[in-house]
Amino acid sequence: MSETPEPFDDLVTHAHDTRVVVVGAGIGGLVAALECAKVGMPVTVLEAADHAGGTIAEAEVGGLRVDLGATSWSTANGAVDALVDELGLSSLVVEPDDTTTWIAGLGRSGSGAAPVPADSVLGIPANPWSEEVRPFIGLNGAWRAYLDRLRPPLTIGKERNLDRLVRTRMGDAVVDRMVAPLSAGRFGVIPSRVDVAAAAPGLSSALTRTGSLGGAVADLLVDRPAGPRLKSLEGGMLRLVDALVEKLSALGAQVVTGARVTAVERGADDRWAVSAADPTGEPIVVAPADVLIVATGHADARRLLSPYAGAALDDSMTDAAPLREVVTIVVDAPALDAAPRGAEVYAVPGTRRASGLVHQTARWAWLSQAAGPGRHVLSVAFDVASDAGTDGGPHAGLDDAAVGELARGEASALLGLALDEAAVRGVHRACFALARPASTIGHGEATDAVRRATAGARGLAAVGSWLAGSGLAQVVADAQAEAERVRRMVLWGSAPAS
């Protein structure tokens, strides 16, 4: 046997000697940590909160354990599906029982509601004359939308602003009553901030090919993938966080909660000195790191990385991100057993104080079984602009009882069903800064600027929803890619050609 170590042995030794510190134990940080730990790198994850998971969290409400933030993932890129399989959670994967979406706030009085037409993309109907579309735009709106067929097609990629595209082609009613409720309700972004090319790839070229926006939508629907586009885990999404933490522990990594990172500094030896403190302010000793992965929100990333990313971390990264308060109420309401307005309802902007709600027990059979007949879990969302000066959320000045009463009233209006005060069995409120979707205009350019800046500092990476875009699928895939980039850089000296 040769006494000279083989190149593979050298690589293994190098990996074991390459220390990694990850700041933030949200899903992005945990996934990036896993990618490093499973090749033998010693990893320490520092989390300021007293628990891992970030926006994946749960609480007991009305005697039920319920998800508060992220409740599911998109199957579009397969990233979370593969991660779940890797962690041995495949047996817990569930598909939604009901996927119907309604829009409320229709009609002259604003009390009407209707399900979103199946033949639509981003709320844009394939056929404005369809009976499913009539409740939204009426006869006059249908005639206006029909003009889309008579207008000349756009050249490929000419109009990328979703609001202008749909308003020009199909009129105000389609934008205001079909597109805007879904864009604002689901993602907290108005249509004028949505990039068509990113939100609906192929739509512009299909418009040119078919000659109309309605025709383009119909064309895209032909190739729409079959099967569920959302999945979750029986028992709640925190199972994913628990499995990640357990896997990291098995690989020798440390996840330290209650550890707020106060500063990071790159030394003359190219290693990273990380300063951290516990909740009492006592310093926490952190060994110098060869790799630093910042997996915090935008504000903390800017605080820590400004010396290394500079102008790339300006406020343009968050200018479309509202604060969202999710008020979860558990109610005894047998009339909801039939899910009269499907799994989710969004309001026409300006018609309700709430942007929408998700009927969780209609969507997830396991939760409905846990709740029992007649008992339901409703997640009511309230949004406020991030620059409105309400750091505590839309209802910072109200106590839990007042917010619960407000949520009950909004849920009654959105569901078209009076929920009595006595029916409420529990209330919980949680506030999140919504990450803007990757389809937001300018998001890709801003992310690229940050990535170019961080790539210029050896052993540095940044991950998280503020860079990847909202949604677990985006965050997981992005964290895996960035962890792969930075670990290859420190182990191989440069990223090998793909």
Q: What is the pLDDT of residues 433-453, one digit of tens each?
A: 888 899 999 999 999 999 999
- 8 Å CB contact between 139 and 146: no
pLDDT score, position 156: 59
The answer on pLDDT for 494 being more than 70 is: no
Overall average pLDDT of the 392-409 stretch: 86
Report the distance separating Cα 436 and Cα 189, nearest Å: 7
Structure tokens at 288: 């110098």
Cβ neighbours for 165, distance < 8 A, ≥ 6 positions apart: 154, 159, 196, 213
pLDDT score, position 5: 47
Report the distance separating Cα 413 and Cα 106, nearest Å: 12
Give the residue among 58, 112, 126, 43 at the shortest CA–CA distance from 379: 58
Report the distance separating Cα 172 and Cα 289, nearest Å: 55
Strand residue runs (E) in 107-259: 112-115, 120-121, 124-125, 230-233, 254-257
The answer on pLDDT for 498 being more than 50 is: no
pLDDT score, position 4: 45
Q: What is the overall mean pLDDT for the chain?
A: 91
DSSP 440: B
pLDDT score, position 389: 47
Over residues 454-481, the pLDDT tens digits come to 988 889 999 999 999 999 999 999 999 9
Over residues 275-290, the pLDDT tens digits come to 999 999 999 999 999 9
DSSP 176: I
What is the greatest pairwise CA distance in the chain?
Answer: 85
CA distances from 276 to 23, 272, 273, 313, 475 (A): 10, 13, 10, 22, 25
Using pLDDT thresholds of 50, 70 and 90, give the confidence band for residue 249: very high
Question: For 84, phi and psi rounded to 5 degrees?
Answer: -60, -40
Write down the architecture of domain 7-54+235-318+439-492 according to CATH: 3-Layer(bba) Sandwich (3.50)
pLDDT score, position 155: 62
CATH, range 322-433:
3.90.660.20
Using pLDDT thresholds of 50, 70 and 90, give the confidence band for residue 225: confident
pLDDT score, position 166: 97
The answer on pLDDT for 388 being more than 60 is: no
Helix (H, G, I), strand (E, B) or coil at 263: strand
Using pLDDT thresholds of 50, 70 and 90, give the confidence band for residue 157: low
Question: For 372, phi and psi rounded to 5 degrees?
Answer: 90, 165
Overall average pLDDT of the 57-76 stretch: 95
The answer on pLDDT for 297 being more than 80 is: yes
Over residues 201-214, the pLDDT tens digits come to 999 999 999 999 99
The answer on pLDDT for 253 being more than 80 is: yes
Overall average pLDDT of the 414-437 stretch: 94
Strand residue runs (E) in 191-334: 230-233, 254-257, 260-266, 272-277, 283-284, 291-294, 323-332
pLDDT score, position 319: 57
Q: How far apart are the first and last CA of the chain?
A: 33
Is CATH 3.20.20.150 correct for 116-222? Answer: no
**Chain region(s) in the chain for CATH 3.90.660.20:** 322-433
Report the distance separating Cα 81 and Cα 92, nearest Å: 11
- 8 Å CB contact between 383 and 324: yes
pLDDT score, position 9: 61
Over residues 313-337, the pLDDT tens digits come to 775 565 546 789 999 999 999 999 9
Helix (H, G, I), strand (E, B) or coil at 36: helix
Report the distance separating Cα 234 and Cα 95, nearest Å: 9
The answer on pLDDT for 387 being more than 60 is: no
CA distances from 496 to 458, 487, 491 (A): 16, 11, 11
pLDDT score, position 126: 97
**Chain region(s) in the chain for CATH 3.50.50.60:** 7-54+235-318+439-492
Over residues 98-150, the pLDDT tens digits come to 999 999 999 988 889 999 999 999 999 999 999 999 999 999 999 999 999 98
